Structure 1
Amino acid sequence: MTTRLLTRVKSKLFVHSRRRSRNVLEGEFASVFHGRSLDYDDLRDYVPGDEVRDIDWKATARHTSPLVRRYVATRKQNVMLVIDTGRGMAAAARGGEPKKSVAITAAGLVGYLAQRHGDLVGLVRGDATSTVAHELRGSEAHLERLLRAIDAATTLDGEASNLAAQLQWIVRNVRRRLLLLVVADDVELDTALSDLLRRLHVQHEILWLTVEDADPTSVDPDRTAVDVADHYTIPTFVRTNAAVKAAYAQAVAERTRATNAVLDGAGINHIRVGSSDDVLLAVFTLLERQRRASR
């Protein structure tokens, strides 16, 4: 029987994160939304980054080490996973695995945190020719279906990406406030996206995660390197050429600077990851930045 995708996501969370770290990650997630209605739940150990005002001083005196109050939401929030499922996301990531595996890990982690807090999770996915929306629900079974939809839709023979189409769908069709996790291919963002992103950012909380490409100039010379954009096989003598290596590295650096400028200009917290092993720290970093920006 095929391993459930959500089970794989959970295994990464539990292998790479001790209990205290998981508590911090969940606390960061819960604090992202502005004005969230919260009720007291229980106490946990203080960790760097917690609000001093949340320390329970009476309980701390009895326990001899700082304890903070933990809260739970009294109303459900809505989390929308916005995932690029164009063929570029079926190519290899910097760490060697398919980029869609990184996207599934990120979507699964944020979806799992949301589901644990009783929040609703939906999905908008697509490419240059189509956008598909999956409704908001709150069960693990639903989250598993979303992850499988991402996996099935992202293929090497699929259509090219056009993430702007999926973001436009949200602008046209969504009126309620959302937390958007956008997982994007490593392509330069058209500056025309700036206005669209600014419009989205006014209404929604946005976390942006870019999945980095594998470096074709560093691939083992005995292996074949193919550009999935046009299925062109890159000759070994080309990708091992020192001048080509230098030019490729410069192009990546310039594309990264341009993409960062667009996202920074729109006020969107963003991060780059190269493998699914990077996702846990990346999501924590994004949530922490978003929490601090929300103060």
Structure 2
Amino acid sequence: MGTHLNRARARFGTDTRGLLEGGRHALLHTRTLEFDELRPYVPGDDVRDIDWKASARSGSVLIKRFVSEKHHKILLVADSGRNMRGLAPDGERKCAVALNVLGALGLITLGRADEIGMVYGDARGSLRARQRRGENHIESMLAGYHTHTATPGPSDIVHQLTYVATHYRHPLLIVVVSDEPDPDDRLGDALDRLTARHDVMWAMIADMPAVEAGRGGYDVLSGRPVLGPAAVDPRVVAAYRSAEDRRTQHLAEFMAGHGISHATIAGSDEIRRRITAMTRVWSRAG
């Protein structure tokens, strides 16, 4: 495996069984060679599946059924703008956590022969990697994302979501990877367009709190302290934490209202647990 996939595997592990099963859309049904059972022939069945010996013994025409596999067409949609240069709660840059999340999702597809592509970018525009299979393809996508985060423009994940809604017509499983978005009408309109056609999940990389152990956070765009000396004022700290609780609850309700399974990830060590929970909720919803 390449550098980026190996880093993701070190955090996520190698056991991907049971992940990304289910869902409403984006399923390609193929047949394996593993025999399942015999059943009576009905008009429209493939005559090549008739078991002539079993039919002769039973006196009726019987069809061989085979175990089916379900493969997804997956599209990763990632913010590679300036917001992702900020710090996550564990002290990692959010873009580094996001890269490991994207890599973990790529690892899941390898054992399932899923096709996976990616759209990423910022307010300046979107870049696209077409859907393909295999380690080399996934590593190339990750490398492209990593390169873009080195010289980012302003973040605007709605720009990427709108691009996908406009250019991707066939049903897909879409996994968005970004920081925590602002749940406003503009985002809601973009999600309405997407969820009408696609399955959508969202892995959100959390921000370093603006108040942490008596220190103030900083604005990733300007580098200036968010609270300055007020970061040690107990009243300011309490008000900040109360506002964060309300914001988090509002965001969760917004995502639930649009039928989007989501996870908030504070650092790379949480990736396996959070992605597993997110995909299980999505599978049950399907």
Q: Confirm or deny that 1:271 pairs with 2:263.
A: yes
Structure 2 gaps, min length 5: 35-66
The number of residue pairs the alignment matches comes to 253
Give the aligned partner of residue 52 of structure 1. none
Q: Confirm or deny that 1:243 pairs with 2:235.
A: yes
Give the aligned partner of residue 177 of structure 1. 171
Q: Confirm or deny that 1:81 pairs with 2:76.
A: yes
Point out the structure with the larger strand share.
2
Alpha-carbon distance between aligned partners in 2 of 1:26 and 1:150, rounded to the nearest angstrom: 26
1:283 partner letter: I
Q: Is the 8 A contact 1:114 1:121 kept in 2?
A: yes
What TM-score do the two structures reach when normalised by structure 2? 0.80
Alpha-carbon distance between aligned partners in 1 of 2:138 and 2:263, rounded to the nearest angstrom: 23
Give the aligned partner of residue 51 of structure 1. none
Give the aligned partner of residue 116 of structure 1. 111
| 1:29-81, Cα deviation, whole Å (9 max, x unpaired) | 13335565254688xxxxxxxxxxxxxxxxxxxxxxxxxxxx6636x531111
Alpha-carbon distance between aligned partners in 2 of 1:188 and 1:289, rounded to the nearest angstrom: 23
Alpha-carbon distance change, 251 to 117 in structure 1, aligned in 2, over 3 angstroms: same
| 1:91-138, Cα deviation, whole Å (9 max, x unpaired) | 110111111122111111111111221111111111112211111111
Percent identity reads 26
Q: Is the 8 A contact 1:188 1:258 kept in 2?
A: no
Alpha-carbon distance between aligned partners in 2 of 1:95 and 1:234, rounded to the nearest angstrom: 18
2:114 partner letter: D
Q: Is the 8 A contact 1:219 1:225 kept in 2?
A: no
Give the superposition deviation at 1:282: 1.1
What TM-score do the two structures reach when normalised by structure 1? 0.77
1:73 partner letter: E
Q: Superposed, which structure 2 residues align to 1:1-295 within 5 Å?
A: 4-14=3-13, 22=15, 25-32=16-23, 34=25, 36-37=28-29, 39=31, 73=69, 76-155=71-150, 158-218=152-212, 221=215, 225-234=217-226, 236-294=228-286
Q: Aligned-pair RMSD on alpha carbons?
A: 2.5
Alpha-carbon distance change, 235 to 261 in structure 1, aligned in 2, over 3 angstroms: closer
Deviating above 6 A after TM superposition, structure 1's stretches of 4 or more consecutive aligned residues are none
Give the aligned partner of residue 60 of structure 1. none
* Rg larger for: 2
